[in-house]
Each structure stands twice: as C-alpha cells, then as structure tokens.
C-alpha cells in the first residue's frame, strides 16, 4: 500500500468516525424536519356510530378507538356525499361533487371522471417531492370509453397523480372482480381474456337471477348478474378466472399492499390513500373473523377492518414513522344495513346503532348520509382531543397543501389545517352536502334541506332519503336526530340558510319554492 492509499483510508476513517460521533439528537431533528408522510385510511359505508370512540358499545373497535384517542376525534366531520364516487371525487380533487355530473355511483366500466389535467391531492403532493400511492377501492372510473381489460387500463389513478396504484376498479359487488396494479390486471392469463358487460350476460353463463341455487350469498335487490365465488354481482364478467380475487382474503390482501407500500417508501415523504372495502357489501369476513362481532357479517367485517387498521398502524410504528406521519381516518358515506344481499345485517343488529342516532343513512340528505367518523392523528404533533369544528374531506387538499408549503388551493377545498391539527376549533363556516345529485346545507349548528320531489323512503334499504315537499330546518345541537322541523317556526333562520345555500349552490335543477320572508 503506498502513501496515498493510507491517506485515503485515514480520511475515510475520520469521516466515518465523525458520522458515528454525530449526536443522535441532530440526526433525529434532521429527520423530523422532513416533510411529513400523509396517510388517508378511507372505509366504505362505515357509520358515525360504528366505532367505539363515537359511542358504539355493541361492537368493539379498539384499534380505531386508539387512533381516535391519540389524535383528534371530530364530532362534525363530513364526507361530501352520501355515496362513494362523489365523496371520493371531492376528497381527491377538492371540488364539490355536484359540479361534475358524472360524479355518481359508477358501474365498473365507467370512464375516469377526474380530468387528467385536473389538480388532485396526490398531484399537489408530487409538486413537493412526494411519492404517491393508492391501495384499495378506486370507483372513479377507468379509461376513456371502452376499456379493454386485457391491455393497459388507462387513464386511471396513475394519470391523475398516483405514482403507484393497486386497486379494485369499482366496488366489491361490481365486476370486474380483479385487482389492477398500475393499469394491469394482476395475474391475468392472456389465454383467458376478460370481457365485461353491464347489460347482457354472455351465452351459456350462469347468473344470480337464473341460478340462485348456485349462490352462497342470496341477493335481495340488484346484485343478480354474474356469480363469482358464489356471490352474485352487479354486471356480467367472462374470463379472467385465474385473476379473480378471493373475497375473504381481500382485507389481508389490501393490508399487505398498504404495508408493502409503506415499507418501500419509508424514506419518504410519501402519500398513501388506503381505500378499505369494509363494511360495504358483499360482507365477506375472513373465516377468522366470522362470528366475532355477534352482529353478523356487517359487524364481523368492521371487527376485521379494525384489526387491519391495527396491523397497519403497527407497521408505521415498526418503521419508526408514526412521529412523521399525519394519519386521516374517515368513511366515504354513512351506513346501510341491507344494501342488496341477505346477510343478516338487519336481523342481527341488536342494539347497535350504526348511525350513532343520526337520521337517515347512506343515500340520504339527512345527517347520517354524510356525517361520518373522522379522525386525525400525528404522534407528537397533534394533541389528543375532541373537536367540534366543521370539517369536510374535501378540505384535505388545500389544508395538506398548506402543511407541506404548497400554494395550491382548489375551488371548494378550504385551508382549515389548524382545525385538522386540532389547534383550532375554526373549521369551515358552511358546507353543501350531496346525495343522489340533490343537496342540503350545513351551517353552524343548523342543517337545511330544500324541498325535493322524490320518495321519502328508499324502501329496499329502508333509509329515509330526506325528500319532502317542504323546506326542512333543524338545529343539530338541540336536535341531532333531526326530529323537529323548524322551517315554519324560524323563518329568519331559514332565510339565512337558504341565502347561504344558494350563494354556493346557485339555481338548482329542481324548482325551489320561494320562501316567504316576514
């Protein structure tokens, strides 16, 4: 070894030594100065009262409760809509869903409803150096017309801001019943191509309608097309036998996807949108959760979801990420019991109240449609507590933008970061809520539903929709279950509410009655 070699080795030793001598504190602060990771855990049809933290006693959700108790539990947290697609649209784009006529419950063959040039939460984060991923339910459409499931399926999540996607296209009850990774159907055998039709069955194929004897889960309304894994679905599917998902393994499968994503991108910053399928129909708990709730499959899949969340949080902890990760937990819309299958959700409900006493449910303009569980958590940064601030999922885009130092804001997404972090009770002042293209209004302690034609009760699911020929006005503080319509007795408040509502909503398609002002 010559002199220069020695000098090189000595220099290296000094450098390594210096590195090791660096105080641990400095290393940590350098780390925490990094942009925080953002994780959104989004359940499907979970009601306000479905979690212990919000008062459920008949059902145990220890992991969600722990998240709530270690973070901010919102008592006035809202989805934007009482159904899935519009809520997801608003969460990702920061735009009211009723501004997009395609933001309604979509079939599995629907084209992408987010513009490929449109601002989205992941796209905003990408401008700040984030890696962005989605694992789980998508339901915002794929492709731009006819989708060939045997080729790259595009545009989709990867074209609206996600670097990585591992999704189910629509819902667990809709075809195609396959996972799609970055546009490719996972495990597809090219010799067994997939075709999908939402109108007609394929010759020689069985269906729930014609072959009920082949089903292991019975359909109640809708859900009588292709039978897959014994479950009759919405839509017809042919081929792709090997690629089809296993329903009972879906929770574990998405969990692993979410864990793998986190492990791979732990050096961050990353954004993960984790769209869980529970407790949407068909409710298919893994056998190890069957019977665990005593409430039938709906309760069992909530117990399963809670376990999954516990496992996922463990991964964040094991990777040392909890102190640098903002976690948001919520649901895309309110609860429903019988949503199309006979699965004992009604029969085994017992004393459990998925709505937590709110009126209505999924599909409804009443509170339970959109008033959902909402939790933010960030170890060491968010002080545990309960917040009454009015917050909406749609506000995440602008609020998170503020957090990461981005100037990006979208039209309807308000920066209420302080409320999300629990450091202020000032949320948004008011909010327009949607259900089946109809809208209601929330401001302060008040809720107003304009007059709408249409049935009052959606019989199949036994949920009050909120339609009435009269204005409805409720004081939610005194009357959270919306029993006393004060529209006739408090005209002044009604006028104020209608003014606030029309200022945002403008003229509606349905004619609103002119209210008589005193």
Cβ(412)–Cβ(432) below 8 Å: no
Cβ(436)–Cβ(83) below 8 Å: yes
**10 upstream amide cis, omega within 30 of 0:** no
Which of the choices Ca ion, ligand NG6, none does residue 482 contact, using the CB cut-off of 5 to 8 A by kind?
none
Which of the choices ligand NG6, Ca ion, none does residue 173 contact, using the CB cut-off of 5 to 8 A by kind?
ligand NG6
Q: Which residues, numbered 312-371, are part of the site for Ca ion (CB under 5 A)?
A: 332-333
Neighbours of 461 (CB within 10 A): 19
C-alpha–C-alpha distance, residues 14 and 11, integer Å: 5
Which of the choices Ca ion, ligand NG6, none does residue 171 contact, using the CB cut-off of 5 to 8 A by kind?
ligand NG6
Which of the choices Ca ion, ligand NG6, none does residue 177 contact, using the CB cut-off of 5 to 8 A by kind?
none
Q: What's the token pair of residue 307?
A: 């376990």
In whole angstroms, the minimum distance from the beta carbon of 281 to ligand NG6 comes to 5
In whole angstroms, the minimum distance from the beta carbon of 372 to ligand NG6 comes to 12
Binding mask 79-108 for Ca ion (x = CB under 5 A): -----x------------------------
C-alpha–C-alpha distance, residues 150 and 195, integer Å: 8
List of residues contacting ligand NG6 (CB under 6 A) = 44-45, 83-84, 105, 139, 171, 173, 221-223, 234, 280-281, 333, 339-340
In whole angstroms, the minimum distance from the beta carbon of 280 to Ca ion comes to 6
Phi, psi of 76 (to 5 degrees): -130, 55
Phi, psi of 28 (to 5 degrees): -65, -45
Q: Does 45 bind Ca ion (CB under 5 A)?
A: yes
- The smaller minimum CB distance to Ca ion, of residues 86 and 422, is found at 86
In whole angstroms, the minimum distance from the beta carbon of 335 to ligand NG6 comes to 10
Measured between alpha carbons, how far apart are the two ends of the chain, in Å? 99
Query: By beta-carbon distance, which residue lies closest to Ca ion?
Result: 84
- The smaller minimum CB distance to ligand NG6, of residues 123 and 223, is found at 223
- The smaller minimum CB distance to ligand NG6, of residues 105 and 349, is found at 105
508-518 burial code (b ≥16 CB/10 A, e <16): eeeeeeeeeee
Token look-up 């979410």 returns 258
Which of the choices Ca ion, ligand NG6, none does residue 105 contact, using the CB cut-off of 5 to 8 A by kind?
ligand NG6
Which of the choices Ca ion, ligand NG6, none does residue 286 contact, using the CB cut-off of 5 to 8 A by kind?
none
In whole angstroms, the minimum distance from the beta carbon of 104 to ligand NG6 comes to 9
- The smaller minimum CB distance to ligand NG6, of residues 172 and 293, is found at 172
| 3-state SS, residue 329 | strand
Q: What's the token pair of residue 89?
A: 């649209």
Q: What's the token pair of residue 458?
A: 């959606």
- The smaller minimum CB distance to ligand NG6, of residues 44 and 395, is found at 44
Among 39, 40, 41, 44, binds Ca ion (CB under 5 A): 44
Token look-up 């609103």 returns 512
Binding mask 106-145 for Ca ion (x = CB under 5 A): ----------------------------------------
- The smaller minimum CB distance to ligand NG6, of residues 283 and 352, is found at 283
- The smaller minimum CB distance to ligand NG6, of residues 234 and 372, is found at 234
- The smaller minimum CB distance to Ca ion, of residues 158 and 333, is found at 333
Strand ranges for 52-204 from DSSP E: 72-74, 77-78, 131-137, 164-168, 179-181, 184-185, 195-197
Query: By beta-carbon distance, which residue lies closest to ligand NG6?
Result: 222
- The smaller minimum CB distance to ligand NG6, of residues 89 and 474, is found at 89
Question: Of 45-53, 123-131, 159-167, 227-235, which segment contacts Ca ion by CB under 5 A?
Answer: 45-53
Cβ(473)–Cβ(446) below 8 Å: yes
The secondary structure of residue 98, as a DSSP letter, is G
In whole angstroms, the minimum distance from the beta carbon of 279 to Ca ion comes to 9
Neighbours of 68 (CB within 10 A): 24
Half-sphere exposure of 283 (CA within 13 A, CB side): 30
Beta bridge partners of 473: 448
172-181 burial code (b ≥16 CB/10 A, e <16): bbbbbbbbbe
* Contacts with Ca ion, residue ranges (CB under 5 A): 44-45, 84, 332-333
């Amino acid at each position: 070894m010559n002199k220069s070699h020695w000098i090189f080795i000595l220099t290296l030793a000094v450098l390594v030594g210096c590195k090791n001598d660096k105080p641990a504190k400095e290393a940590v602060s350098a780390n925490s100065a990094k942009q925080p990771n953002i994780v959104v855990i989004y359940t499907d049809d979970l009601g306000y009262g479905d979690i212990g933290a919000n008062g459920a006693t008949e059902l145990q959700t220890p992991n969600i409760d722990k998240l709530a108790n270690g973070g901010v539990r919102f008592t006035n947290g809202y989805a934007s809509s009482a159904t899935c697609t519009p809520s997801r649209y608003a969460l990702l784009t920061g735009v009211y869903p009723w501004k997009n006529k395609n933001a309604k419950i979509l079939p599995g063959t629907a084209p992408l409803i987010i513009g490929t040039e449109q601002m989205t939460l992941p796209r905003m984060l990408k401008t700040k150096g984030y890696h962005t991923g989605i694992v789980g339910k998508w339901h915002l459409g794929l492709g731009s017309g006819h989708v060939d499931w045997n080729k790259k399926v595009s545009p989709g999540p990867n074209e609206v801001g996600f670097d990585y996607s591992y999704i189910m296209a629509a819902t667990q009850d809709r075809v195609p019943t396959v996972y799609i990774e970055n546009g490719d159907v996972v495990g597809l055998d090219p010799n067994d191509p997939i075709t999908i039709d939402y109108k007609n069955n394929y010759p020689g194929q069985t269906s729930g309608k014609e072959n009920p004897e082949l089903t292991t889960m019975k359909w109640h309304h809708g859900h009588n097309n292709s039978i897959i894994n014994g479950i009759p679905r919405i839509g017809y599917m042919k081929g792709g036998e090997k690629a089809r998902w296993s329903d009972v393994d879906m929770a574990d499968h998405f969990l692993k996807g979410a864990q793998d994503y986190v492990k791979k991108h732990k050096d961050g910053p990353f954004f993960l949108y984790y769209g869980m399928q529970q407790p949407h129909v068909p409710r298919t708990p893994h056998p190890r959760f069957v019977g665990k709730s005593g409430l039938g499959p709906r309760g069992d899949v909530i117990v399963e979801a809670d376990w999954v969340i516990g496992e996922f949080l463990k991964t964040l902890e094991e990777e040392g990420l909890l102190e640098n990760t903002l976690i948001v937990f919520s649901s895309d819309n309110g609860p429903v019991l019988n949503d199309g299958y006979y699965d004992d959700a009604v029969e085994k409900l017992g004393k459990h109240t998925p709505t937590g006493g709110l009126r209505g449910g999924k599909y409804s303009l009443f509170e339970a449609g959109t008033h959902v569980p909402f939790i933010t958590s960030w170890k060491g940064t968010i002080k545990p507590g309960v917040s009454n601030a009015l917050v909406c999922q749609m506000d995440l885009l602008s609020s998170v933008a503020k957090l990461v130092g981005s100037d990006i804001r979208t039209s309807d997404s308000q920066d209420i970061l302080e409320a999300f972090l629990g450091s202020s009770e000032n949320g948004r002042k008011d909010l327009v809520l949607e259900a089946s293209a109809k809208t209601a209004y929330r401001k302060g302690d008040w809720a107003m539903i304009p007059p709408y034609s249409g049935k009052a009760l959606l019989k199949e699911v036994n949920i009050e929709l909120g339609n009435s020929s009269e204005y409805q006005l409720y004081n939610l503080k005194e009357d959270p279950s919306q029993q006393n319509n004060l529209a006739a007795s408090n005209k002044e408040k009604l006028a104020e509410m209608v003014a606030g509502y029309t200022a945002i909503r403008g003229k509606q398609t349905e004619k609103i009655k002119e209210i008589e002002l005193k």
